[in-house]
Amino acid sequence: MKMNAILTGCVLFKNREVALFGFEPNGRPGESAFAVLLGSSWHGFTVEPKWPAIGMAWAKYPTHDDWLIVASSSEGHLWELTPGIKAEHESRIPGDYEGLTKLATVGEALWACGMGRLVLRRESDGTWINLSAPDPPLEEGVIGFNAIAGSSTEVTAVGWRGEIWMRVNDRWEVQDSGTNTNLNAVSVGSDGQVIAVGDVGTVVVGQRNQWSVLDINTDFNLQGVCHFGDEVFICSDFELFRLENGALIAETRFASGDEPKTCMNLLAGKESVFSQGEKDIFKYAQGLWTRVF
């Protein structure tokens, strides 16, 4: 495949692990093309929207036999794929929604977050419900969510100025994160541990009403985080790390010494983790990172 940039991606497990990514095609800035990685082979899809994808996630609704994969633009344009019947089409989130920043799978449903503390959830019938946190007052200026994660009973959204909001029992609660630095990504472990990462090396660890800011002692921005088994991976724009005993440890487990030059996003599956940057995709499995794009 000849692509100008890698935009986003997601990973799901359907009999085997499947990774899908959105790309900006060569010579077509501001557009998207999608492809799936099956084993070591790439397969492209037919529909190529005239907008850039900012996020991608999957859903598995109890009332549906098949999975659903969705990519979105910041204005709510959608690309939807039903892989079992190889059906794909474009649509749009109804309503006047702009400033979307991320899609995520939360409790096997599809959620979106964005500016102004926007939070949306896609229902099994294709409708979208507005579950936004309280609007910021005008005096707070521009503020919003950059990422969202959690389970069907507890959802965590993080964003500008160190904001952490948790949705528990269908109510949003603002948390004291201990920082006013922008948070860019969040991950929730199987034990409920929440880790959020952000600008100038910010790492916040904790759970509801109990948060601590780690002394990472670095000044570069952190863009991605994910739990995977007993490990926690974190990435900046250009490097991969492990979080061990409260410290960032530079990742060195690369096949043939081939390391990514760009990162930005971490995607955890059941069997592997993918690091997705603007120009590189690496897969971590069985203790080793290997380039797949």
For residues 196-217, give the mean pLDDT: 97
Confidence (pLDDT) at 4:
95
Digit-coded pLDDT (tens) for 161-176 = 999 999 999 999 999 9
Give 138's pLDDT tier (boundaries 50, 70, 90): confident
pLDDT over 90, % of the chain? 89
Digit-coded pLDDT (tens) for 23-70 = 999 999 999 999 999 888 999 999 999 999 999 999 999 888 889 999
3-state class (DSSP) for residue 145: strand
Domain spans, the chain: 133-268
Q: Enumerate residues 6+ apart whose C-beta is below 8 A from 286.
A: none
For residues 116-130, give the mean pLDDT: 96
Confidence (pLDDT) at 141:
85
Confidence (pLDDT) at 90:
98
252 pLDDT more than 80: yes
List own/partner pairs for 65-73 with CB under 8 A and 24 or more apart.
Answer: 67/12, 67/14, 68/110, 69/10, 69/12, 69/20, 70/103, 70/110, 70/122, 71/8, 71/22, 71/32, 71/34, 71/103, 72/100, 72/103, 72/112, 73/49, 73/100
Taking the complete model, does pTM exceed 0.85, yes or no?
yes
Confidence (pLDDT) at 142:
87
∠ CA(151), CA(155), CA(159), 5° rounding? 135
Give 15's pLDDT tier (boundaries 50, 70, 90): confident
Digit-coded pLDDT (tens) for 234-249 = 999 999 999 999 999 9
Tell me the C-alpha distance between 197 and 34, whole Å: 28
The architecture (CATH level 2) of 133-268 comes to 6 Propeller (2.120)
Q: Do 80 and 88 meet the contact criterion of CB atoms below 8 Å apart?
A: yes
- Paired tokens of 141: 């200026």
1 pLDDT more than 80: no
Q: What are the C-alpha distances in Å from 51 to residues 1, 10, 20, 63, 104? A: 19, 18, 17, 31, 19
- Paired tokens of 2: 């000849």
Q: Do 219 and 225 meet the contact criterion of CB atoms below 8 Å apart?
A: no
Confidence (pLDDT) at 64:
82
More confident residue, 141 or 56: 56
Q: What is the DSSP letter of 199?
A: G
Strand-pair partners of 122:
110, 128
Tell me the C-alpha distance between 89 and 7, whole Å: 19
Read off φ and ψ for residue 171, nearest 5 degrees.
Answer: -130, 140
